[in-house]
Structure 1
Amino acid sequence: MSRLDWPAGFKRTPESERERNRSFEATLGATTKELATEMGRMNADEWRGEISNAHTKSNGLPLHNANPDDPGFVLRWTADSEQFAVACDASPRLRDNVRYVLKWVHETRMRSQRPVQTGDSEFAAARLPPGDDGDVVAGTATSQPAHEVLGVAPDAPETVVESAARARKAETHPDNGGDREEFQRVVEAEEVMLDD
């Protein structure tokens, strides 16, 4: 079984809190077809769906009969050299999670076609931090491992991680003259270490 590459900083829904959606009637196959069409309309440079097993098409979208142990779904894309990701695991059924992502992408794309001026792209909420290649802060060549960001041992206990993160957040917080990006790196590093 492969593991779903959940975006760093995105909270997971506890299994006990996942709820079936009884209003979605489309099949997984129909939903993935609609999502592929929607991504084509967005003119993304490239895009890929992700589930926790290998039952996928070449674009990463699940096959019509995919039934992974982890029902979560992640959609990643690149547009104008920026990386984006949306993810859902609110339902115990993969089909519903893919459908939620489809609905969000469609509704957000439709908002971008309205003659309304905003301060940023409608998809700004899905923009990933610079350098994210699916593993923010977790030790890529361009980013520090989470334990180094916090200044703790790789196997530090939770209490040590929490204490170090609290201190680093205080010194890097933008309200205290710190750098917003560094503060976000500290927050993400804490989440990575506490999720392990």
Structure 2
Amino acid sequence: MSSPAKASPEIRVLVENPQTVADMRANGVTIGIPIRHEDHEGIAALYRLRDEAHAKRDWALLDSTEDMPMMMVSDSSQGDGVSWIGTAENSQAITDAAMKLVPKVQVQHERRFVFITEHLAVNLENNTVEVSGETLSFRAAHLLVKRNGQWRVKCVVEGGWGDMALLTGCSFQLGETSGTKQARTP
């Protein structure tokens, strides 16, 4: 097991010598600032674009709604949690591999946006899809970040994709580092 990273002198001062809120703010700590505006419409616009991209199977448009690098978290058929780091370079390969398994279907989304701050939010979804006469229901969560005034998906959490590395014809390779699978293009 590796030793923990050493904290910078500034971090050590804040941890070892509790400061006033004003001192915390002066050092760049903004925790506890009240949310004055929840941008539901901005996030809804993001999901209209993502839904359009899925309907058209336009993966470049879908990629434009994501803040790279992004993390994808799932679980495997063995019950192990796994994650991938998606980059601008490998995102298309990851999406292509996943979509080879998914027929073109219409997914019904029930979305609930939870704001952590004015610039961080979580989308919690209950989803329903019909595939060959069988109805599937699943949950997902997306961590969203607002950067340069635009909402983007930073992390996707959805069960059932953890064995994706075993796909035949997958156009990317996986390497393991610290329990996280990082997708790399060949």
TM class by shorter chain equals: under 0.3
The structure with the greater share of residues assigned to helix is 1
The normalised TM-score by structure 1 is: 0.24
The normalised TM-score by structure 2 is: 0.25
The structure with the greater share of residues assigned to strand is 2
